[in-house]
């Protein structure tokens, strides 16, 4: 089925704010600029998402359970990747690029978001993939990437895919933009710094309590980096707890470690320091747990299946590679913490009903 943008999702640059009247004024989707206004012209995000995403109680799990609905960031394809694209798109368009190339597993959610946003922006998209265990999620994402007009090149093993991405002659072509896997570039981290300010605004409006802990899955790590840095900048005391779902290293390269999270936070802080040299003296401590990773990337376990079923019963659709593992960790934390805990839903929940192929095996 071909996806077309039937709604009015023409690109919006940052909406001009009407200073003369507050009547009918939409809340800014980027509360980070209320605190750091000098960043606005530099980052100039593109309005693609439906922000803020809701915070909701998960009452069936008790009075401490809350969820942040980033599964609904966009009308066509939600999730954390789409939120990042508001800031990534600004960089691509400013550089006048015409073709985006990115990297991911065969079932990459990031690839789907990239394809969807490229279609929306009128850009070409190529996704270079590496093999991951086949599942209904992989098949669904393959068909979504194609339906959003992306060309998929499967390079087989991860090392070959990385070679094809990093040593690609098209890097020399002026029209091509090479976006690292997961969209993990510094401005994408800023999208999640902004998301922490969004949560703070919701806490101030008493839409939810300040969570003692926030749980989310971690792959390329810019979501964790952004939320950790953002909570520190926003003065939230919440501990942001990342659940690692990706191999810590691929060959000699660190892919999902504390060092990676720290580097991403430092790069985002550098953007901030250009205009706000006093902004943050020390980086906050990143929390990355590895105890839900086994037996490997994208492999479904009985515990993940159970967590996904519990989430489904609450109306939350999760995937086996990322969000299911983090929800498993969240459910366990709820049993012991005794304080409000927020699950940050990062997996797109739109398009599920219409595009899932029949279940096979996994």
The 10 Å CB-count burial string (b at 16+, else e) for 273-304 is: eeeeeeeeeebbebbbeeebbeeebbbbbeeb
Torsion of CA 357, 358, 360, 362, to 10 degrees: 70
- Does residue number 189 form part of the binding site for ligand PLP (CB under 6 A)? no
CA nearest neighbour of 199 among 74, 70, 90, 86: 70
Quick one: which of 218, 260, 272, 350 contacts ligand PLP (CB under 6 A)? Answer: 218
The reply on whether position 323 binds ligand PLP by CB under 6 A is: yes
Binding residue count for ligand PLP, defined by CB under 6 A: 18
Smallest distance, Å, CB 15 to ligand PLP?
A: 26
Our CB check for ligand PLP shows the closer of 98 and 355 to be 355
Task: Kindly provide the b/e burial profile for residues 172-197, where b requires at least 16 CB atoms within 10 angstroms of the residue's own CB.
Answer: eeeebbbbbbbbbbbbbbbbbbbbbb
- Binder among 346, 349, 350, 351 for ligand PLP (CB under 6 A): 346
Query: Does the protein bind ligand PLP through residue 223 (CB under 6 A)?
Result: yes
- What Cα–Cα distance (Å) separates residue 246 from each residue in 164, 253, 295, 345? 20, 13, 11, 17
Residues within window 104-123 making contact with ligand PLP, judged by CB under 6 A:
109-110
Are 228 and 265 in contact by the 8 Å Cβ rule? The answer is: yes
Q: State yes or no: residue 292 binds ligand PLP (CB under 6 A).
A: no
| Rounded least distance, CB 318 to ligand PLP, Å | 8
Regarding 141 and contact with ligand PLP (CB under 6 A), the answer is no
Query: Would you count residue 265 as binding ligand PLP (CB under 6 A)?
Result: no
Say whether residue 230 binds ligand PLP (CB under 6 A).
no
Residues that bind ligand PLP (CB under 6 A): 79-80, 109-110, 182, 217-224, 319, 322-323, 346-347
């Amino acid at each position: 089925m071909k996806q077309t943008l039937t709604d009015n999702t023409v690109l919006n640059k940052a909406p001009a704010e009407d200073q003369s009247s507050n009547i009918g004024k939409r809340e800014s989707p980027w509360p980070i600029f209320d605190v750091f206004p000098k960043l606005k012209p530099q980052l100039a995000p593109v309005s693609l998402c439906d922000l803020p995403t809701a915070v909701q109680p998960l009452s069936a799990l008790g009075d401490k359970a809350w969820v942040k609905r980033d599964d609904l960031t966009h009308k066509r394809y939600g999730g954390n990747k789409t939120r990042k694209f508001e800031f990534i798109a600004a960089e691509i368009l400013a550089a006048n690029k015409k073709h985006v190339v990115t990297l991911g597993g065969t079932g990459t959610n990031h690839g789907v978001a990239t394809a969807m946003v490229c279609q929306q922006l009128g850009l070409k998209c190529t996704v270079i993939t590496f093999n991951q265990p086949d599942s209904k999620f992989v098949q669904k994402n393959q068909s979504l990437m194609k339906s959003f007009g992306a060309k998929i090149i499967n390079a087989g093993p991860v090392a070959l895919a990385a070679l094809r991405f990093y040593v690609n002659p098209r890097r020399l072509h002026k029209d091509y933009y090479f976006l690292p896997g997961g969209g993990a570039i510094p401005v994408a981290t800023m999208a999640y710094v902004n998301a922490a300010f969004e949560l703070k605004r919701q806490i101030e409006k008493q839409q939810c309590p300040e969570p003692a802990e926030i749980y989310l899955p971690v792959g390329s790590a810019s979501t964790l980096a952004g939320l950790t840095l953002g909570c520190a900048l926003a003065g939230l005391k919440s501990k942001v707890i990342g659940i690692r779902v990706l191999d810590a290293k691929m060959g000699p390269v660190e892919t999902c470690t504390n060092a990676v999270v720290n580097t991403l936070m430092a790069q985002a802080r550098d953007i901030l320091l250009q205009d706000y040299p006093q902004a943050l003296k020390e980086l906050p401590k990143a929390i990355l747990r590895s105890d839900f990773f086994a037996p490997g990337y994208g492999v479904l376990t009985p515990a993940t299946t159970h967590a996904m079923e519990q989430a489904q019963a609450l109306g939350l659709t999760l995937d086996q590679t990322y969000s299911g593992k983090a929800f498993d960790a969240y459910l366990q934390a709820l049993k012991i913490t005794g304080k409000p805990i927020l699950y940050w839903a990062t997996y797109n929940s739109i398009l599920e009903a219409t595009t899932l192929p029949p279940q096979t095996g996994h």
